[in-house]
Amino acid sequence: MAIASFTTQQLISLDGVKYKLDRKISDDSWQLLCLTTGQYITHKTNELLKLYTNGNIKFIFSENQSDKYKKSSTAISSTFTIDELPPKLQKIIKERYVHVKEILNAGLDKYTADTMPPIITKTHNKLETDSKQPSWHTVNRWRKSYLNSGNDIRGLIPKDKSKGNRSPRYSNELLNIMNTAISEIYMKLERGTIKETLYYAINLVSQNNKFKPKSMHMQHPTRRMIKRLIDQIPYMDKVIARRGRQAAAHESRTVLNNLTATRPLERAEIDHTTLDIIVVDNNMLPLGRPTLTICIDTMTRCILGMYIGFEPPNYLTVAQCLKHAFLPKTDIKNKYPSIQNEWDAYGVMETLVVDNGLEFHGKNLESLCHPFGITIQYSPRKMPWKKGIVERFIGTLNRNIAHGNPGTTFSNIFEKEDYNAVNNATIKLDKFREIANKWVADIYHQEIHRTIKQKPSALWKENINNTLILLPSDIDDLNILTNASDTRSLTHKGIELNSITYNSEELSKLRLRYGNNMKVIVRYSQDNLGFIYVNNPKDEQTIRVPALNQDYASGLSEYQHKLCKHYAKTYLNKEDKEALSEAKVCIREIVNNEMQDKKRIKTRKRAYRASTNKDQDNSNQNKLIRNNINNNHITKEKLSAIKFKTKIDKSVPRKLKTLK
């Protein structure tokens, strides 16, 4: 995915109509030119940001742009990432990326043979690679490709396919002879081999050359030429010709069930913490201490994004925090009417500083950051001062929104004395999220920071005018990239992920085109297993595929699914989809019982994560429970006998047991 900003000559799509940001007529107004009608319209900057956040505006990079702003025409807008490429190619791309970054960070006035070679030599020695040191012409070409693609690392992918002469190599007469040989030998039920097809084609060419002058003789075809033509034939056409229509029908069957920064956004730090306060649910029963994920801009000390929930630190919490950081907070006043000030800080950062937690390692975070040109910087082990700004802020936030409120646990046990945090907890989770947002927007951003000697919001406004705020070019692509990714094989049954089967008509067409057992990249939301996104590396097409068992999978989180699988296998002695649905209802009743137990606060916190109605109406679930009881799928005695003997473990519910 490319990154873009609201700047002059940028192309956008507004409700499906192409516009050009023609000029900025005032500090808060833009004049847009409709490329279809030639009419001009005017929009406030806040209106454009709100339309962008709602998905009405998408940045586009058209090949029909004029030469004046054609530099962005090579930007890549697909969710295809370099992690889906072969490891050898990934290594080449990352080496190019390091060279380009070092050249850009050097701040050169001119990119010439005098200025670039010393930097290239230093970078090459630091990489300690076996590859040959690139010339300054090559690195300069990489730099241009990177910038023209919207600072997208995929702009550095080698374009080997574009090398050489692109004109047809062989005459039409020779191509016709080879196609004839393929039709008469290879595309037959006798299933002739490529070698037999080649010999037949050579014989046809020799017979044809007998009637021509020597100067007009055609060259003999090679095995490579024959194989390339065969590979261009659609897979199902080859199956029908070589194995018959019955075999083709069997093949096509488908199972369906419907450091220091000098400017804003140059460097940001991200981290997690468990807040020192116990929050309650809608029944005023304590849930436990929520977890906070926070991202802060190093230069201005402004908060770019945050996420509050009960999930343990993982990729889901990191992705949601970064998504909140990237996007403008245009709806914050509508969501929380008590907030008075704007939350101005947003945008894609250049460098993201993280620690060595497992959630920050792996391909998922790289797949999210690399398309935006974000460099991930890992702080050394046992050196928290390397990202001290976010560490310090977490303590400040805890003291201001957790300490002093009902239900606070204080920062250490000696401060508690006789205070009972559980009995005094009265703040609901939704209200606590409003308190946190209001404190950031109305207090922290508006108070003078003792380090920068200025208000963070004022410092942001003062310096951001000299910095283009980069945004994801497509909200839909961003939503896909924030999902976890994995590799799966596509078969006639579809795709199986986490023991759930996914399939659709689009997947069927993809398989008919490329054959069985092709490898695809799968992206899925850890909060909702009801659907997945499938990325075909061959044509970079992304498809949304639903789960076949929607009654079970829709709205189900990955954590809840693990609970259901463990319960069905251990206590129902089944592993089919009916057993999973039955386990889901059983666990629902267990969770409801645990949520009423005020004494077991730690168990209730995990039970809240396991509940299916955290953020949605539970009427359908209650109806499902009643139906199963009435149909004797689950007896009332069985439900009343099931209890937690130990905690619902946060990793896998291996401690989930029943009392006899």
Least confident of 135-149, 206-220, 246-260, 608-622: 608-622
Same domain? 287 vs 176: no
- In three-state secondary structure terms, 621 is helix
Is the CB of residue 178 less than 8 Å from the CB of residue 229?
yes
Across the beta sheet with 291-297, what order do the strands follow? Answer: 303-309, 291-297, 267-274, 351-354, 375-378
Most confident of 108-117, 168-177, 463-472, 617-626: 108-117
Rounded Cα gap, residues 423 and 411, in angstroms: 18
Predicted local distance difference test score (pLDDT) of residue 660: 27
Whole-angstrom distance, CA of residue 365 vs CA of residue 380: 18
| Structural domain contains residue 257 | no
Is the predicted pLDDT of residue 280 greater than 80, yes or no?
no
Which helix (H) or strand (E) segment holds residue 535: the answer is strand 528-536
What pLDDT, on the 0 to 100 scale, is given for residue 458?
A: 93
Domain boundary among 72, 99, 115: 72
pLDDT of residue 407: 52
Residue 492 has pLDDT above 90, yes or no: no
C-alpha–C-alpha distance, residues 141 and 136, integer Å: 8
User: What is the distance between the alpha carbons of residues 61 and 252, in angstroms, rounded to a whole number?
Assistant: 37
Q: Tell me, yes or no, whether 364 and 468 share the same domain.
A: yes
- Does any domain span residue 655? no
Range scoring the smallest mean pLDDT among 176-185, 194-203, 277-286:
277-286
Among 81-90, 262-271, 346-355, 402-411, which is the least confidently predicted range? 402-411
Report the candidate in 335, 352, 333, 351 with the shortest Cα–Cα distance to residue 343: 333
CB atoms within 10 A of CB 280: 22
| Alpha-carbon span 352 to 347, nearest angstrom | 12
The verdict on 399 and 281 lying in the same domain is: yes
Residue 164: left (phi > 0), alpha (psi -120 to 50), or beta?
left
| Whole-prediction pTM | 0.66
Q: Which amino acid is at 433?
A: R
* C-alpha 378: how far from chain center: 20
328-342, 410-424, 546-560, range with greatest mean pLDDT: 328-342
pLDDT at 285: 61
**Which of residues 41 and 584 earns the better pLDDT score?**
41
Q: Would the pLDDT of 607 be above 70? A: no
Look at residue 614 and tell me whether its pLDDT is greater than 60: no
The pLDDT mean for the chain works out to: 78
Answer yes or no: do 518 and 574 share one domain: no
Instruction: Assess whether 375 and 499 both reside in one domain.
Output: no
Give the whole-angstrom CA distance, residue 335 versus residue 638.
43
Predicted confidence band of residue 1 (pLDDT cuts 50, 70, 90): low
- pLDDT for residue 195 is more than 90: yes
Q: Is residue 459 part of a domain?
A: yes
Report whether pLDDT(399) > 80: yes
> Helices marked H in 370-515 — which ranges?
388-397, 413-416, 421-424, 429-438, 456-464, 475-481, 505-514
Q: In this structure, what CATH number is given to the domain that contains residue 366?
A: 3.30.420.10
Distance of CA 594 to the CA centre of its chain: 34
**Confidence band of 591 (pLDDT split at 50, 70, 90):** low
Per-residue pLDDT, 66: 37
Of the candidates 105, 147, 141, which has an alpha carbon nearest to the alpha carbon of residue 2?
147
* Of the ranges 178-182, 357-361, 568-572, the best mean pLDDT one: 178-182
646: Cβ–Cβ under 8 A, 6 or more apart, which residues? 655, 656, 657
283 and 412, same domain (yes or no) = yes
Distances, alpha carbon 332 to alpha carbons 49, 303, 434, in Å: 13, 14, 10
Mean pLDDT of 309-336: 89
Task: Place 542 in a pLDDT band, splitting at 50, 70 and 90.
Answer: confident
Question: Is residue 308's pLDDT more than 80?
Answer: yes
Interatomic CA distance for residues 596 and 443, integer angstroms: 36
Q: What is the pLDDT of residue 8?
A: 87
Number of compact structural domains in the chain: 6
Contact status, residue 77 vs residue 63, Cβ threshold 8 Å: no
Name the nearest CA neighbour of 481 among 264, 328, 318, 306: 318
pLDDT of the residue at 253:
59
**Do 287 and 238 fall within a single domain?**
no
Q: If you average pLDDT over residues 511-515, what whole number do you get?
A: 82
Say which CATH number the domain at 44 has.
2.30.30
Beta carbons within 8 Å of 72's beta carbon, 6+ residues apart: 2, 4, 10, 11, 61, 65, 148, 150
Q: Band of the pLDDT at 19, cuts 50, 70, 90? A: very high
Out of 72, 95, 113, a domain closes at 72
Q: How far apart are CA 550 and CA 541, in angstroms?
A: 24
Identity of the amino acid at 461: K
Domain boundary (217, 251, 285) is at 251
Q: Which of 65, 62, 61, 21 is nearest to 45 (CA)?
A: 21
Tell me the percentage of the chain whose pLDDT exceeds 90: 27
Going from the C-alpha of 252 to that of each of 248, 304, 505, 509, the distances in angstroms are: 6, 49, 11, 9
pLDDT beyond 90 at 55: no
Domain encompassing residue 199: 172-251
Q: Is the dihedral of CA 326, 331, 337, 340 positive or negative?
A: positive
In this predicted model, what pLDDT tens digit does every residue of 108-148 receive, in sequence order? 888 999 999 999 999 999 888 888 899 999 999 999 988 88
Please tell me which of 64-78, 520-534, 581-595 the model is most confident about, judged by mean pLDDT: 520-534
* Mean of pLDDT values over 642-653: 35
Q: 3-class SS at 286?
A: strand
pLDDT band at 197 (very low <50, low <70, confident <90, very high): very high
Q: What is residue 297's predicted lDDT score, i.e. its pLDDT?
A: 94
Number of residues that this document lists for the chain? 660
Is the model's pLDDT at 303 over the cut of 90? yes
Together in a domain, 533 and 385: no
Alpha-carbon distances of 187 from 224, 232, 247, 386, 604, rounded to whole Å: 17, 13, 15, 65, 65
451 and 375 assigned to the same domain: yes
Q: Which of 272-276, 485-489, 653-657 is predicted least confidently?
A: 653-657
The CA–CA distances, whole Å, from 552 to 22, 371, 529, 642 equal 50, 34, 9, 21
- Residue 166: inside a domain: no
pLDDT (tens digit per residue) in 62-74: 444 333 333 434 4
User: Is 162 within the bounds of a domain?
Assistant: no
Q: Roughly how many angstroms between the first and final C-alpha of the chain, as a whole number?
A: 55
Helices (H), 131-181: 136-148, 172-181
DSSP assignment of 256-268 equals: ------SSTTSEE
pLDDT for 601 equals 53
Per-residue pLDDT at 625 exceeds 50: no
Q: Of 321 and 426, which is predicted with more confidence?
A: 321
**Is 90 exceeded by the pLDDT of residue 506?**
no
| Helix ranges, 282-369 (H) | 315-326, 332-335, 363-369
**In whole angstroms, what is the distance from residue 112 CA to residue 135 CA?**
11
Is the same domain home to 366 and 444? yes
Tell me what percent of the chain is helix, strand and coil, each rounded to the nearest 5: 45, 15, 40
Comparing 565 with 600, the larger pLDDT belongs to 565
Residue 432 pLDDT class (50, 70, 90 cuts): confident
Query: Which pLDDT does position 579 carry in this prediction?
Result: 65
Reported confidence tier of residue 36, pLDDT bands at 50, 70, 90: confident
Answer whether residue 419 is part of any domain.
Answer: yes
| Structure confidence at residue 457 (pLDDT) | 93
414 Cβ contact partners less than 8 Å away, ≥ 6 residues apart: none
- Is 650 a member of any domain? no
The mean-pLDDT minimum among 123-127, 325-329, 385-389 falls in 385-389
pLDDT at residue 460 tops 60: yes
For residue 553 the two structure tokens come to: 């999978």
Using pLDDT thresholds of 50, 70 and 90, give the confidence band for residue 490: confident
541 beta partners: 536
In terms of C-beta density within 10 A (0-12 exposed, 13-18 middle, 19 or more buried), how is residue 471 classed?
buried
User: Strand order in 11-14's β-sheet?
Assistant: 40-44, 29-34, 17-26, 11-14, 57-59
In a shared domain, residues 293 and 435: yes
Element (H, E) at 529: strand 528-536
Asked if 310 and 421 sit in the same domain, the reply is yes
pLDDT of 452 reads 85
d(CA 321, CA 209): 70
**What integer is the mean pLDDT of 391-404?**
82
* 658 domain residue, yes or no: no
Residue with tokens 């090679």: 222
More reliable by pLDDT, 150 or 117: 117
Instruction: Reply yes or no on whether the pLDDT at 600 is more than 80.
Output: no
Half-sphere exposure for 279 (CA within 13 Å, toward CB)? 23
- Report the distance separating Cα 181 and Cα 207, nearest Å: 13
Q: What percent of the chain has pLDDT over 70?
A: 74
